[in-house]
């Protein structure tokens, strides 16, 4: 999507991975077979896709943004295709697993789920996953505050931002978020994990820039970089590293084929 254009390098270098326990949970119902075909939708630079591929799974990474695809680290088990969540260039009932790491909230809720259902085999698995900075951890909470405080200097209230905000507030999203309902799917389950990411000052700055809604230039960027430098000075250990704590939320569901 254009919202993340020109952010591929920062995204690839500084976005966190996902806990191994979350990947274990995704794969537990699939038997860890190397015959599994997975599709990662809104793959970005392939961070999640590579975690699956490291387990011997062939992953088709669907990503519309050329900058993200170009910045991706290659992996022998990951194949990138141009496409969107609402229009995936794959055959009906052709894959075992559909995943979306940190991206599902950008999709059209109904159309994307219908498309995921179309390409999944009967009883195929859907896995939707997000990393959130842990607001119970004071360091992570302060980092969150600084990053989001900078967002008005970009078009955080733009059409994309408003669309995202509306999606989160919708009743159907709330039912899903509580683990109660997801159209076209059954056996919806919610899982949570905790893990950490250690970053130096360069990493803290790069992670902030990768968010897309933070300013890319001008006084807004200068202020954010200055604030994060002070934050780093107050929060780092003797090695100059700051530990951010994440809560990872994973939803899994089974394709509901009659």
Domain of residue 176, CATH code: 3.40.50.150
pLDDT in tens, 93-150: 999 999 999 999 999 999 999 999 999 999 899 999 999 999 999 999 999 999 999 9
Please list, in sequence order, all residues whose beta carbon lies within 8 angstroms of the beta carbon of residue 152, skipping any fewer than 6 positions away: none
Query: At a CB cut-off of 8 Å and minimum separation 6, what does 87 contact?
Result: 115
pLDDT digits (tens, 9 = 90+) for 184-216: 999 999 999 999 999 999 999 999 999 878 888
Return the structure tokens found at 119.
């390409």
Does 218 map to a domain? no
Q: Alpha helices of 32-95 — where are they, by DSSP H?
A: 47-53, 66-71
pLDDT range class, residue 34, cuts 50, 70, 90: low
Burial class (CB in 10 A: 0-12, 13-18, 19+), 74: exposed
Residue 210 belongs to a domain? no
- What number of helices (H) and strands (E) belong to the chain? 10, 7
Instruction: Residue 27: give the domain boundaries.
Output: 2-132+156-195+247-255
Which pLDDT value is given to residue 168? Answer: 60
Tokens 């900078």 sit on residue: 150
Residue 13 maps to a domain: yes
Residue 202 falls inside a structural domain? no
Given this model, what pLDDT does residue 32 score? 61
Is residue 49 situated within a structural domain?
A: yes
- Identify the sign of the CA torsion 249, 49, 171, 143: positive
Domain-located, residue 203: no
Q: Please, what is the average pLDDT of the chain? A: 90
* Single pTM value for the model: 0.91
Asked if 102 and 248 touch (Cβ cutoff 8 Å), the reply is no
Give how many domains the chain has, as a whole number.
1
**What are the tokens at 256?**
């509901």
Interior angle at CA 171, CA 169 and CA 176, nearest 5: 95
């Amino acid at each position: 999507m254009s919202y993340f254009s020109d952010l591929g390098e920062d995204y690839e270098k500084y976005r966190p991975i996902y806990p191994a326990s979350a990947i274990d949970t995704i794969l537990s119902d699939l038997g860890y077979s190397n015959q599994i075909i997975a599709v990662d939708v809104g793959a970005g630079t392939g961070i999640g896709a590579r975690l699956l591929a490291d387990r011997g799974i062939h992953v088709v990474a669907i990503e519309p943004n050329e900058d993200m695809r170009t910045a991706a680290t290659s992996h022998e088990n990951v194949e990138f295709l141009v496409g969107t969540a609402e229009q995936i260039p794959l055959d009906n009932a052709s894959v075992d697993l559909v995943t979306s790491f940190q991206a599902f909230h950008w999709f059209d809720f109904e159309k994307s789920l219908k498309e995921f259902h179309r390409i999944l085999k009967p009883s195929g698995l859907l896995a939707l996953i997000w990393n959130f900075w842990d607001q119970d951890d004071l360091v992570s909470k302060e980092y969150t505050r600084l990053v989001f405080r900078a967002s008005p200097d970009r078009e955080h209230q733009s059409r994309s931002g408003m669309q995202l905000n509306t999606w989160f507030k919708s009743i159907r999203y709330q039912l899903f978020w509580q683990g109660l309902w997801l159209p076209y799917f059954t056996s919806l389950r919610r899982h949570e994990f905790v893990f950490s990411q250690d970053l130096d000052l360069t990493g803290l700055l790069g992670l902030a820039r990768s968010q897309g809604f933070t300013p890319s230039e001008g006084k807004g960027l200068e202020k954010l970089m200055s604030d994060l430098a002070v934050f780093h000075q107050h929060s780092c250990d003797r090695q100059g590293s700051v530990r951010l704590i994440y809560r990872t939320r994973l939803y899994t569901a089974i394709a509901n084929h009659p």
